[in-house]
Structure 1
Amino acid sequence: MKKKRILVAALNWGLGHATRCIPIINGLIAHGYEPIIASDGAALSLLKKEFPDLQAEELPSYNIEYSAAPNLLKWKLFLESPRIIKVIKAEKKETKRLVEKYNLNGIISDNRLGVRYRHLKCVFITHQLNVLSGNTTWLSSKLHQKYIRKFDECWVPDLPGSKNLSGFLGHMKKTPEEVKYMGPLSRFSKKDIPKNFKIMILLSGPEPQRSILEKILLQEFKETSEKTLFVRGVLEESEFITQMNNPNLEIRNYLFGEELEKDLNSSEIIVCRSGYTSIMDLSKLEKKAFLIPTPGQFEQEYLAERLDKLGVAPFCTQSKFKISELERLKSFSGFRDFGFVTDFGDLFTLFKGK
Structure 2
Amino acid sequence: MPKRILVAPLNWGLGHATRCIPIIRELQKQGAEVVLASDGRALALLRQEFPALTAIVLPGYNIHYPGANMILNMTRQLPGILWAACRETQAARQLVTRHEISGIISDNRYGCHSRVVRSVFITHQLNIKVAKSGCPTPGHSPASSFLLEKIANRFNRRYLRRFDECWIPDVEGEPNLSGELGHSQAGEEPGSFKYIGALSRMHNFEVPRKYDAIAVLSGPEPQRSYLEKEIIGQARRLPFRFLVVQGKTETMVRQFIEKNIEVVSHLASEELNNALLASGVFIGRSGYSSIMDLAKTGRPAILIPTPGQTEQEYLAARFSRQGVFCVQEQGHLDLAEGLKEANRCPGLSPAFFDGGLLEQVVSDFLAKL
* Distance across 2 between alignment mates of 1:81 and 1:216: 30
Does the alignment pair 1:299 with 2:311? yes
Match of 2:43 in 1: 44
Q: Which residue of 1 aligns with 2:199?
A: 185
Q: Structure 2: give runs of 5+ residues left out of the alignment.
A: 132-144
Q: How do residues 1-354 of structure 1 correspond to structure 2 at under 5 angstroms?
A: 2-67=1-66, 69-71=67-69, 73-134=70-131, 135=145, 136-173=148-185, 174-237=188-251, 239=253, 244=257, 246-326=258-338, 327-338=340-351, 340-342=353-355, 343-348=357-362, 349-354=364-369
CA RMSD of aligned residues (A): 1.5
Match of 2:136 in 1: none
Change (3 A) 1:78 1:339: closer
Shift in CA distance, 285/240, structure 1 to aligned 2, threshold 3 Å: closer
**Partner Cα separation in structure 2 for residue 185 and residue 239 of structure 1:** 28
SS at 2:166's partner residue?
A: strand
Percent identity among equivalent residues? Answer: 42
Q: Structure 1 CA distance, aligned partners of 2:99 and 2:42?
A: 21
**Pairwise CA distance, 1:250:** 1.2
Q: Deviations over 1:167-215 (max 9, x none)?
A: 1100001322211000100001101121111111111111100111111
**SS of residue paired to 2:351:** coil
The 3-state SS of whatever aligns with 1:80 is helix
Give secondary structure in 2 for the equivalent of 1:9.
Answer: strand
**What is the DSSP-based 3-state SS (H/G/I as helix, E as strand, rest coil) of the residue aligned with 1:38?**
strand
Separation in 1 of the partners of 2:74 and 2:180? 22
Structure 1 residue 162: deviation in Å? Answer: 2.1
Which portions of structure 1, spanning 4 or more consecutive aligned residues, are displaced by more than 6 angstroms? none
Checking the alignment, whether the CA contact within 8 Å between 1:224 and 1:249 is kept in structure 2 is no
Question: Contact 1:124–1:154 at 8 Å: present in 2 too?
Answer: yes
Specify the code of the residue in structure 2 equivalent to 1:70. A
Q: Residue 121 of structure 1 contacts residue 351 of structure 1 at CA under 8 Å; is this kept in 2?
A: no
Using the size of structure 1 for normalisation, the TM-score is: 0.95
Q: How far off its partner does 1:279 sit?
A: 0.3
* Distance (whole Å) between structure 2 residues aligned to residue 330 and residue 339 of structure 1: 22
Using the size of structure 2 for normalisation, the TM-score is 0.91
Please list every run of 5 or more consecutive structure 1 residues that lacks an aligned counterpart in the other structure: none
SS of corresponding position for 1:87 = helix
How many pairs align? 349
Amino acid at match of 2:92: T
CA distance in 1, matches of 2:11, 2:27: 21
Kept in 1: contact 2:68–2:309 (CA 8 A): yes
CA distance in 2, matches of 1:241, 1:262: 18
